[in-house]
C-alpha cells in the first residue's frame, strides 16, 4: 500500500534545492561510500538518513564489521570537520565537551574555553558503551540542542552536527548500557549485519592488497544543510501522520491499540520522539525514492530502526527471549493504516 497526496504547490520555489537534485546528491554520496564499504547498502542508506534528518545514528555490532570505517568514509565524502572520540572507562565529560583553562594574557591570568572534540560537524563516538553513564550523558545537550554549556556559558555547534556512535552488544565484557534518555536522542539504531561470503572475499581482496581504496569528497557541509532543510519541507498527508502516531501508540501496553504481545512483555513504549523519527525518516525515504510526499510504506520502512531502541521490555519479556524487533513487527502487523478520505 503506497498512498499519499501531493499538493501541486508544495514543491520548493526558485532558488531552493529540487527533490531530483536531492536524490542525485544522495546517490553520489552512497556510491562514493560504496568504493570503500563493501555491500551494506541498507546500513549506508540508514546512516545517511540520520545525517540528512539532522539527527544521530547508533550502530551496534560485534568488533570488526567496519562500523568505524563507515563513519570515517562518510567524513571523507563530505567536506566538513570530523573528530573521533574513543570512549573508554576513564574518559571524563570534559574530555568530550572541553574545559576552561588558565592562560597568561597581557600580564594577567585569564580563563579561556578550550573546545573539546565534540566541536565538529561529524563526531564519531567510538564504542560509546565502554564509557561510564556519567560520561555518556555529557553528549545529551549537544545531541538535542546542538550546543555545549560550560561554566554558565553556552557554545553553539556549527551545522551540520551529526553524532554517529558505535557500540558492541551489551553482553560483551566491559560495556555499560546507554541511558534511556540518550538512546532516545538517536534517530535510528542500526544493527550491523555480518557480511556474506561473497562480500567477505571482496573485503579481504581490498584490505590485503597493495592499493587501499579511498573515497573522494562529493559534497560540502553547506549542501548537507540545504538537503536537511528540503527534507523538513516535504509535505505529509494527515492520514500518514495519523498512521505514524497509531504505530507509536501501539508500543505502549496501556493503550487500546497495543497488541497482546506488547501488553504482556513491554514495560515502556516509545516516546514522542519515536513518532518524530517515523515522520522525518519517512520524508527522507520519499525524497530518496524521487517523491515529494510521504507514503504509509515510508513510515513502515522507518519503523524498525526508529523504534527498536525506544521500547523497553519488562522482566517477563526478557526472560522469554522476546526482542524489540519482533515487537515492532507485531505492531506493524496489527495496526491498520487509516482510510484516505
Cα separation, 163 vs 142, in Å, equals 9
Cα separation, 74 vs 123, in Å, equals 11
- pLDDT at site 171: 60
Mean pLDDT calculated for residue range 206-224: 81
Lookup: cell for 10? 508544495
Taking only the tens place, the pLDDT of each residue in 9-55 is 445 544 467 888 898 999 999 988 888 877 778 888 999 999 999 99
Q: What is the pTM of this model?
A: 0.86
Cα separation, 169 vs 187, in Å, equals 19
Lowest mean pLDDT across 133-142, 222-231, 256-265? 133-142
Mean pLDDT calculated for residue range 161-176: 77
Are 113 and 104 in contact, with CB atoms under 8 Å apart? no
Taking only the tens place, the pLDDT of each residue in 70-92 is 888 888 898 888 899 999 888 88
Lookup: cell for 109? 591570568
Taking only the tens place, the pLDDT of each residue in 120-153 is 999 999 888 888 888 888 888 888 889 988 877 8
Query: So what's the architecture of 234-341 in CATH?
Result: Orthogonal Bundle (1.10)
Exposed/middle/buried for residue 9 (C-beta within 10 Å: 0-12, 13-18, 19+): exposed
Lookup: cell for 326? 519482533
Taking only the tens place, the pLDDT of each residue in 196-209 is 788 788 778 777 77
Phi-psi region of 162 (alpha: psi -120 to 50; beta: other; left: phi over 0): beta
Residues 6+ positions from 336 with CB-CB distance below 8 Å: none
Strand residues in the chain grouped as ranges (E): 57-60, 78-79, 82-86, 98-105, 108-115, 122-126, 147-150, 153-156, 162-167, 188-191, 219-220, 266-268, 312-313
Are 83 and 191 in contact, with CB atoms under 8 Å apart? no
Lookup: cell for 188? 535510528
Report the C-alpha dihedral over residues 170, 133, 64, 32, rounded to 10 degrees: 120
Mean pLDDT calculated for residue range 303-332: 94
The residue among 28 and 105 whose pLDDT is bigger is: 28
- pLDDT at site 5: 42
Q: Which fold has domain 16-228?
A: Rossmann fold (3.40.50)
Cα separation, 49 vs 310, in Å, equals 18
- pLDDT at site 11: 53
CATH 3.40.50.300 in the chain, residues? 16-228
CATH 1.10.8.80 in the chain, residues? 234-341
Distances 223 to 54, 143, 215 between C-alpha atoms, Å? 13, 21, 18
Q: What angle do CA 310, 288, 55 make, to 5 degrees?
A: 35
Phi-psi region of 40 (alpha: psi -120 to 50; beta: other; left: phi over 0): left
Residues 6+ positions from 234 with CB-CB distance below 8 Å: 283, 286, 287, 292, 293, 294
Amino acid at each position: 500500500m503506497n498512498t499519499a497526496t501531493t499538493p501541486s504547490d508544495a514543491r520548493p520555489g526558485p532558488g531552493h534545492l529540487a527533490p531530483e537534485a536531492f536524490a542525485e546528491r544522495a546517490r553520489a554520496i552512497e556510491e562514493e561510500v560504496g568504493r570503500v564499504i563493501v555491500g551494506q547498502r541498507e546500513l549506508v542508506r540508514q546512516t545517511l538518513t540520520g545525517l540528512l534528518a539532522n539527527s544521530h545514528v547508533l550502530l551496534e555490532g560485534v568488533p570488526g564489521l567496519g562500523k568505524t570505517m563507515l563513519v570515517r568514509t562518510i567524513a571523507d565524502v563530505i567536506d566538513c570537520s570530523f573528530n573521533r572520540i574513543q570512549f573508554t572507562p576513564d574518559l571524563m565529560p570534559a574530555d568530550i565537551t572541553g574545559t576552561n583553562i588558565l592562560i597568561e594574557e597581557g600580564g594577567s591570568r585569564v580563563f579561556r574555553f578550550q573546545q573539546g572534540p565534540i566541536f565538529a560537524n561529524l563526531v564519531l563516538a567510538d564504542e560509546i558503551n565502554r564509557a561510564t553513564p556519567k560520561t555518556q550523558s555529557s553528549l545529551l545537550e549537544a545531541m538535542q540542542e546542538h550546543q555545549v554549556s560550560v561554566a554558565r556559558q553556552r557554545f553553539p555547534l556549527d551545522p551540520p552536527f551529526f553524532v554517529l556512535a558505535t557500540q558492541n552488544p551489551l553482553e560483551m565484557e566491559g560495556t555499560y548500557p546507554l541511558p534511556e534518555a540518550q538512546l532516545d536522542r538517536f534517530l535510528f539504531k542500526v544493527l550491523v549485519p555480518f557480511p556474506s561470503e561473497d562480500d567477505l572475499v571482496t573485503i579481504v581482496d581490498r584490505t590485503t592488497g597493495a592499493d587501499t581504496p579511498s573515497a573522494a569528497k562529493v559534497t560540502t557541509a553547506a549542501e548537507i544543510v540545504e538537503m536537511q532543510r528540503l527534507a523538513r519541507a516535504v509535505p505529509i498527508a494527515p492520514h500518514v501522520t495519523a498512521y505514524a502516531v497509531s504505530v507509536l501508540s501501539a508500543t505502549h501496553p496501556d493503550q487500546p491499540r497495543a497488541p497482546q504481545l506488547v501488553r504482556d512483555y513491554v514495560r515502556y513504549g516509545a516516546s514522542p520522539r519515536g513518532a518524530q523519527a517515523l515522520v522525518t525518516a519517512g520524508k527522507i525515504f520519499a525524497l530518496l525514492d524521487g517523491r515529494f510526499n510521504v507514503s504509509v510504506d515510508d513510515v513502515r520502512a522507518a519503523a524498525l530502526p526508529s523504534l527498536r531502541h525506544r521500547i523497553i521490555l519488562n522482566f517477563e519479556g526478557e526472560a522469554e527471549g522476546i526482542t524489540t524487533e519482533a515487537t515492532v513487527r507485531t505492531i506493524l502487523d496489527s495496526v491498520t493504516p487509516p482510510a484516505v478520505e
